[in-house]
């Protein structure tokens, strides 16, 4: 009945015939279609398919009232879509905020809307993190936190309470989730610029001191040479080595690898963490060294193109099931590597240690930071520089000792 399109966003009126009510009628909705995904907004009126087909030409007073109601709702959605598109800030979340749908101008509902959006996009890890953020803000502010309540003072209160049981780094990550939603609320016009609580001179998110530690070549050699009488320990040690040798690959990306991802002697993959957030898919390539090939041959599936390299995914799992599998494998790797670390006198070793070690070994060996950045899948050199910054103090201390090594 009504249609509008701007910058790849399509708004239309539809009879949502997916599910009928008890009277055999269907809801009339405003459909917004963007990036191959639809979002429906009900206007509170239901009709049969026959009534809907007759509606445009019907001259009855009731039909005129319904058309006016549809036009009014359509115009409201269109106006907000157009405004967001012109500013280049359109997303379903910002549209929801402007329309007041599923938000009620509260931080709680905005987080729930974000959780639903992430669930639909199968970004389960981020979704679960926002679920924790929701629990944490409700610990402080209850079930109904208006955006107007989210002030510098309120955020400071959250920080004080959360710091009793959580690290600075963890608090910072949840504060960034809140900041993301406040940014969307500001772009949507739900809050004014003067109400925005983040920034210099306002609430500044603290960053924890990095605890990342890359292993030395000597420590890595000890791990490579380590042999256990327990086959399970050897398996998860080898998976840890695979992470290290395969450009510090994230365990999620490792378990998603298929034999078809091996091209001309290289493993080719895109980081799940960034594939949805960057305009250009950044493919990472890791050479299949003899050590990598040995691990694949020993612990991998039969080398058929459609087979996963490692036998953990089947291909029919839901996003939540895939996340659970990854967490289980990471838990198993970390458990075995902790035991190895204790036995070798290295300390606690995790999957993160493998990625950090990959970066630091290259850095200490003189590799160009641009190459390290590309290998890690970072989209910005500044990300790599920040990533490596926590290792610099250790290097400075070592070099300082060289100044007096003759004493």
322 vs 301: CA distance, rounded Å: 18
Residue 145 lies in a domain: yes
pLDDT of amino acid 374: 78
CA angle, corner 218, sides to 217 and 222, nearest 5?
Answer: 110
**328, 368: one domain:** yes
pLDDT of amino acid 188: 72
Give φ, ψ of 204 to 5 degrees.
-110, 125
**49, 148: one domain:** no
Residue 282 lies in a domain: yes
Residue 256 lies in a domain: yes
Q: What is the DSSP letter of 31?
A: E
Residue 347 lies in a domain: yes
Residue 205 lies in a domain: no
Count CB-CB contacts under 10 A for residue 162: 19
**164, 185: one domain:** yes
Q: Tokens for 138?
A: 């409700």
pLDDT of amino acid 281: 62
pLDDT of amino acid 100: 65
pLDDT of amino acid 338: 96
pLDDT by residue for the chain (407 residues), tens only, comes to 889 999 999 999 999 998 888 889 999 999 999 998 998 988 889 999 999 999 999 999 999 989 988 998 898 899 889 988 888 888 888 888 777 654 456 899 889 888 887 887 788 889 999 999 999 999 999 998 999 899 999 999 999 999 999 999 899 999 999 999 998 888 777 788 899 999 999 999 987 655 557 898 999 999 999 999 999 999 999 999 999 999 999 999 999 999 999 999 999 998 876 655 545 567 889 999 999 999 999 999 999 999 999 999 999 999 899 999 999 999 999 999 999 999 999 999 999 999 989 888 888 888 888 878 778 877 777 777 766 765 555 666 666 566 655 55
Which pairing describes strands 9-15 and 3-6: parallel, antiparallel, or unpaired?
antiparallel
| Domain span holding position 18 | 3-88
Query: Which of these three, 88, 111, 140, is where a domain ends?
Result: 88
**227, 358: one domain:** yes
**144, 266: one domain:** no
In three-state secondary structure terms, 110 is: helix
Residue 201 lies in a domain: no
**77, 110: one domain:** no
**178, 317: one domain:** no
Measured CA distances, 367 to 213, 362, 392 (Å): 18, 5, 15
Query: Which of these three, 54, 88, 122, is where a domain ends?
Result: 88
**221, 288: one domain:** yes
**101, 120: one domain:** yes
**314, 398: one domain:** yes
Query: Which of these three, 88, 110, 140, is where a domain ends?
Result: 88
Please tell me the pTM assigned to this model: 0.65
**105, 76: one domain:** no
Using an 8 Å Cβ cutoff, are 359 and 374 in contact?
Answer: no
Count CB-CB contacts under 10 A for residue 199: 11
Q: What is the DSSP letter of 318?
A: -
Mark residue 175 as left, alpha or beta (left: phi above 0; alpha: psi -120 to 50; beta: remaining): alpha
Residue 120 lies in a domain: yes
**231, 380: one domain:** yes
Residue 222 lies in a domain: yes
């Amino acid at each position: 009945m009504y249609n509008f399109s701007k910058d790849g966003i399509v708004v239309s009126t539809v009879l949502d015939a997916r599910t009928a009510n008890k009277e055999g009628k269907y809801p009339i909705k405003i459909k917004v279609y963007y990036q191959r995904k639809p979002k429906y907004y009900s206007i509170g009126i239901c009709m049969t398919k026959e009534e809907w087909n007759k509606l445009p030409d019907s001259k009855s007073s009731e039909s005129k009232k319904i058309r006016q109601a549809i036009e009014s709702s359509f115009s409201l959605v269109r106006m907000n879509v157009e405004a967001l598109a012109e500013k280049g800030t359109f997303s379903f979340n910002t549209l929801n905020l402007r329309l007041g749908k599923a938000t009620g101008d509260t931080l709680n509902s905005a987080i729930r809307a974000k959780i639903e959006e992430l669930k639909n996009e199968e970004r389960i890890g981020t979704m679960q993190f926002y679920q924790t953020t929701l629990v944490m803000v409700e610990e402080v502010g209850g079930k109904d936190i208006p955006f107007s309540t989210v002030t510098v003072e309120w955020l400071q209160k959250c920080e004080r309470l959360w710091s009793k049981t959580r690290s600075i780094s963890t608090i910072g990550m949840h504060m960034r989730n809140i900041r993301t939603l406040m940014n969307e609320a500001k772009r949507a016009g739900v809050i004014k610029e003067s109400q925005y609580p983040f920034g210099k001179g306002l609430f500044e998110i603290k960053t924890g001191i990095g605890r990342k530690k890359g292993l030395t070549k000597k420590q890595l050699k000890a791990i490579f040479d380590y042999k256990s009488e327990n086959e399970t320990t050897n398996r998860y040690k080898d998976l840890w080595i695979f992470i290290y040798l395969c450009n510090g690959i994230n365990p999620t990306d490792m378990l998603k690898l298929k034999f078809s991802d091996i091209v001309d002697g290289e493993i080719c993959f895109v980081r799940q963490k960034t594939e949805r957030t960057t305009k250009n898919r950044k493919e990472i390539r890791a050479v299949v060294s003899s050590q990598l090939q040995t691990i694949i041959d020993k612990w991998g599936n039969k080398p058929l193109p459609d087979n996963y390299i490692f036998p953990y995914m089947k291909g029919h799992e839901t996003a939540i099931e895939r996340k659970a599998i990854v967490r289980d494998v990471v838990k198993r790797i970390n458990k075995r590597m902790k035991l190895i670390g204790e036995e070798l006198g290295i300390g606690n070793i995790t999957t993160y240690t493998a990625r950090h070690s990959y970066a630091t070994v290259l850095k200490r060996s003189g590799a160009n930071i641009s190459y390290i950045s590309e290998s890690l899948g970072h989209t910005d050199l500044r990300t790599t520089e920040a990533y490596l910054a926590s290792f610099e103090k250790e290097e400075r201390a070592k070099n300082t000792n060289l100044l007096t090594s003759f004493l």
